[in-house]
Amino acid sequence: MRIAIASDHAAFELKALLRDWLIDEGHEVADLGPDRDDRVDYPDFGYLLADVVADGTAERGIALCGSGIGISIAVNRNPALRCALVSEPLSAALAREHNDANCLALGARLTGIDMAKACITAFLETEFGGGRHAGRVEKLSHPTQES
């Protein structure tokens, strides 16, 4: 799978570990930065990640910052993105199955490496359920659409 990953400075170390692990797992990974742990603004990297997933360059995105909150908000500004902030694998799987999430957000200060890997595995291995969820997901990209 083609996966884009981005972070801010607070999640730089976790991003590097996850990038290497994803490559070892056989995925094609685009590391969108930053390339060092100097202070950066998470919205810049969230917007970049969203653009790469929205244009199809990457099939899925992984967004990381200290809490995961700020970067997930930035990613979700793009109407083509459905970024779910999670802290355990069940939420990651449900975000895919029910919400067709195409981006996962994690907080580096709140989530250890093993839990992060478990969340990402669930996110990547779970398919969208479609059916009754499809209409709801469509509304997420078109908020003015009537029922």
| Sign (positive or negative) of CA dihedral 24, 89, 79, 11 | negative
Residues of each annotated binding site for D-ribulose 5-phosphate: 8-9, 66-70, 99, 109, 132, 136
Structure-token pair, residue 139:
């509304």
Residue 119 lies in a domain: yes
- pLDDT band of residue 135 (cuts 50, 70, 90) is confident
Residue 52 lies in a domain: yes
Give every CB contact of residue 63 below 8 A, 6+ residues apart in sequence: 5, 6, 7, 45, 46, 49, 71, 72, 74, 75, 83, 103, 104, 105, 106
Q: Give the range of the structural domain holding residue 17, as residue numbers without chain letter.
A: 2-141
Residues of each annotated binding site: 8-9, 66-70, 99, 109, 132, 136
Catalytic residue among 65, 83, 103, 119: 65
The count of other CB atoms within 10 Å of the CB of residue 45 is 26
Q: State yes or no: is 98 an active-site residue.
A: yes
Give every CB contact of residue 117 below 8 A, 6+ residues apart in sequence: 18, 21
Residue 147 lies in a domain: no
Residue 136 lies in a domain: yes
Which residues does residue 145 pair with via DSSP β-bridges, in sequence order? none
Residue 146 lies in a domain: no
- Per-residue pLDDT of 93-127, as tens digits, reads 999 999 999 999 999 999 999 999 999 999 999 99
CATH of the domain at 115: 3.40.1400.10
Mean pLDDT of 1-23: 98
Number of domains in the chain: 1
Residue 21 lies in a domain: yes
pLDDT of residue 141: 77
- pLDDT band of residue 15 (cuts 50, 70, 90) is very high
Structure-token pair, residue 8:
């801010």
CA atoms within 13 A on the CB side of 116: 25
- Per-residue pLDDT of 38-88, as tens digits, reads 999 999 999 999 999 999 999 999 999 999 999 999 999 999 999 999 999
Residue 92 lies in a domain: yes
Residue 132 lies in a domain: yes
